[in-house]
């Protein structure tokens, strides 16, 4: 019996020693893993501190870039044998951008994140023992591949741009610039892109500055309602089809005489003479203050590069000032900015900060941020009603059949070429969801409204499925 007890005590002691040994080994392994992980993180982080780092190309050789996905998880890029591939060719030129001939777009702005390695234990072991490349973080965008497809197809053979924003969140649902090009091409094809007169490398949505034409009439309309909130509908004008300013004749479209109009009717039919006559009620200086409130001459975004729209406050030429009231003169706007204005109107005067990154893999999603209250709810509702009136019997009649609340302002913008640009800015609301948009088609009158119809119908179809 004593011998058995001694053996039992010895066994217990051995078991304890074995358990301690296992714990020590486990702690050693964990410490080793931590040290390896720290070394890897510090090494890759040092390389990735600056995309201009001379050793940054090491990252490109050691890490597969993370991929981009649309709001529904549709993959937009992939890596084939270590080479970046764009699954929809030129559909995302103006957003994702490209790599092979100078980084541009989100590929450039988020390069460090796309090349941030997977520091998991499994990822490190694969890299050590199989030489398998690390994979960078994926980025999920707010963009909708369905809307992008509609924009792409609608702009075939045309020059222009389209921007679509969710008014209540600021999510950018679509940015498209036409003509686009296939970023999967080689270096030899790049030279021909640089020499093309239609400038496919120009992001027209954010960098294109255009005369706004009649879509600018939103601003003097706002000015009249702000100045005479109780009596603005009493301000009428008898349109004869033309008005003389400083010896120059300014006509309505096709020299059409609209007769006696109030603001609602003048906005609906886009009467030039009515809005030029508003100079009697809204001075050019006051119009400049309104433009400032609408974010002209202002940096619009801190996360998206957008050229500021231009309002010339120092213009002293009477004729040029008059033209400004109808969106000609020296005023220039970007489609992105006009989509922001439409978004604020649709969202009861509150401008939500536009953003395009929904979430980055392993990081939380982004919460909508209020950028600014441009105007109060009363004013926003009045502008909404003016724009809805354009659809219900005005220049927006082609959209009348759409089964949703739609408000727009059309525009025909004269420019240095013989053919005018066509504009549409507006919003569409279906149940609890809505979109705001700005569309320009260069040198083709009346075409933008057809593209807006395609976009709204697609939005409704996807929203109701």
pLDDT tens digits, 178-232 = 999 998 877 677 778 888 899 999 999 999 999 999 999 999 999 999 999 999 9
Boundary-marking domain end, from 109, 141, 173: 141
Q: What are the beta bridge partners of residue 49?
A: none
pLDDT of residue 55: 44
Compute CA distances 311 → 289, 333, 412, whole Å. Answer: 10, 9, 18
Compute CA distances 182 → 71, 79, 89, 92, 455, whole Å. Answer: 22, 16, 5, 9, 23
Query: How many residues in the chain?
Result: 465
Same domain, 111 and 167: no
Compute CA distances 373 → 295, 341, 366, whole Å. Answer: 11, 11, 20
| Radius of gyration, alpha carbons of the chain | 29
Q: Cα(212)–Cα(424) distance, rounded to whole angstroms?
A: 10
Among residues 316, 294, 302, 242, which one has the least CA distance to residue 425? Answer: 294
Compute CA distances 235 → 167, 224, 227, 281, 456, whole Å. Answer: 31, 9, 12, 9, 34
pLDDT of residue 309: 98
User: Quick count: other Cβ atoms within 10 Å of Cβ 273?
Assistant: 23
Looking at residues 305-319, what average pLDDT do you find? 96
Same domain, 319 and 375: yes
- Cβ proximity of 308 and 297 under 8 Å: yes
DSSP string, 277-296: HGGGTS-HHHHHHHHHHTTT
Residue 155 in domain: yes
Looking at residues 20-45, what average pLDDT do you find? 57
Q: What is the SS3 string spanning 146-196? A: HHHHHHHHHCCCCCEEEEEECCCCCEEEEEEEECCCCCCCCHHHHHHHHHC
Same domain, 347 and 457: yes
Residue 4 in domain: no
Say which residue, 464 or 142, is predicted with more confidence.
Answer: 142
Looking at residues 381-399, what average pLDDT do you find? 97
pLDDT of residue 57: 52
Q: Cα(335)–Cα(14) distance, rounded to whole angstroms?
A: 78
Q: Cα(177)–Cα(200) distance, rounded to whole angstroms?
A: 8
Block residue for tokens 């009493």: 234
Residue 454 in domain: yes
pLDDT of residue 128: 55
DSSP state of 257: -
- Which of 47-51, 125-129, 333-337, 357-361 comes out lowest in average pLDDT? 47-51
Same domain, 43 and 183: no
Backbone angles phi, psi at 15, to 5 degrees: -65, -40
Same domain, 112 and 243: no
Same domain, 94 and 157: no
pLDDT of residue 49: 41
Residues with Cβ within 8 Å of residue 439, at least 6 apart in sequence? 160, 161, 162, 163, 335, 423, 424, 425, 448, 451, 452, 455
pLDDT of residue 56: 46
**Domain total in the chain:** 2
Among residues 217, 329, 228, 221, which one has the least CA distance to residue 272? Answer: 217
Same domain, 57 and 149: no
Boundary-marking domain end, from 141, 164, 180: 141
Q: Does the structure show a pLDDT above 70 at 362?
A: no
Same domain, 45 and 189: no
Same domain, 114 and 151: no
Same domain, 187 and 95: no
Residue-averaged pLDDT of the chain: 87
Same domain, 304 and 176: yes
Residue 58 in domain: yes
Residue 3 in domain: no
Same domain, 179 and 78: no
pTM for the whole structure:
0.86
Give the domain range for residue 100: 9-141
Boundary-marking domain end, from 107, 141, 175: 141
Cis peptide before 404 (omega within 30 of 0): no
Which CATH number is 81's domain given?
3.90.1310.10
Q: What are the beta bridge partners of residue 390?
A: none
């Amino acid at each position: 019996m004593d011998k058995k007890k001694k053996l039992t005590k010895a066994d217990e002691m051995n078991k304890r020693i074995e358990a301690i040994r296992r714990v020590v080994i486990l702690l050693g392994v964990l410490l080793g893993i931590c040290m390896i992980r720290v070394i890897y993180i510090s090494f890759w982080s040092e390389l990735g501190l600056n995309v201009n780092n001379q050793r940054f190309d090491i990252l490109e050789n050691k890490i597969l870039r993370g991929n981009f996905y649309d709001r529904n998880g549709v993959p937009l890029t992939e890596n084939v044998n270590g080479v970046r591939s764009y699954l929809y060719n030129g559909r995302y030129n103006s957003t994702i951008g490209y790599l092979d001939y100078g980084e541009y777009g989100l590929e450039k702005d988020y390069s460090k994140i796309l090349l941030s390695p997977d520091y998991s234990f499994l990822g490190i072991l694969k890299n050590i023992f199989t030489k398998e490349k690390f994979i960078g973080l994926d980025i999920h965008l707010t963009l909708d591949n369905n809307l992008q497809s509609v924009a792409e197809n609608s702009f075939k053979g045309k020059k222009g741009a389209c921007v679509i924003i969710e008014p209540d969140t600021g999510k950018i649902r679509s940015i498209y610039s036409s003509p686009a090009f296939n970023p999967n091409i080689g270096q030899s094809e790049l030279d021909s892109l640089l020499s093309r007169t239609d400038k496919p490398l120009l992001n027209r949505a954010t960098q294109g500055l255009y005369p706004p034409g009649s879509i600018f009439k939103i601003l003097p309309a706002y000015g009249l309602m702000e100045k005479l909130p109780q009596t603005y509908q009493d301000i009428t004008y008898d349109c004869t089809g033309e008005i003389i300013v400083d010896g120059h004749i300014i006509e309505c479209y096709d020299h059409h005489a609209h007769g006696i109009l109030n603001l609602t009717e003048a906005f609906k039919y886009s009467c030039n003479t009515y809005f030029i006559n508003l100079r009697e009620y809204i001075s050019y200086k006051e119009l400049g203050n309104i433009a400032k409130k609408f974010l002209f001459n202002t940096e619009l975004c801190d996360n998206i590069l957008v050229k500021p729209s231009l309002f010339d406050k120092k213009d002293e030429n009477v004729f040029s000032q008059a033209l400004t009231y109808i969106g000609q003169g020296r005023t220039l706007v970007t489609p992105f900015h006009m989509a922001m204005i439409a978004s604020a109107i649709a969202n009861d005067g509150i401008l939500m900060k536009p953003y395009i990154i929904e979430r980055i893999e392993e990081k939380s999603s982004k919460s909508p941020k209020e950028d600014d209250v441009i105007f109060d709810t009363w004013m926003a509702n009045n502008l909404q009603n003016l724009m809805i009136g354009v659809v219900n019997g005005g220049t927006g009649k082609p959209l009348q059949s759409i089964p949703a609340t739609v408000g727009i302002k059309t525009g025909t913008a004269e420019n240095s070429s013989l053919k005018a640009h066509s504009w549409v800015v507006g919003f569409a609301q279906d149940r609890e969801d809505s979109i705001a948009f700005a569309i320009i088609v260069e040198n083709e009158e009346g075409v933008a409204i057809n593209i807006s119809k395609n976009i709204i119908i697609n939005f409704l179809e996807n929203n109701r499925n």
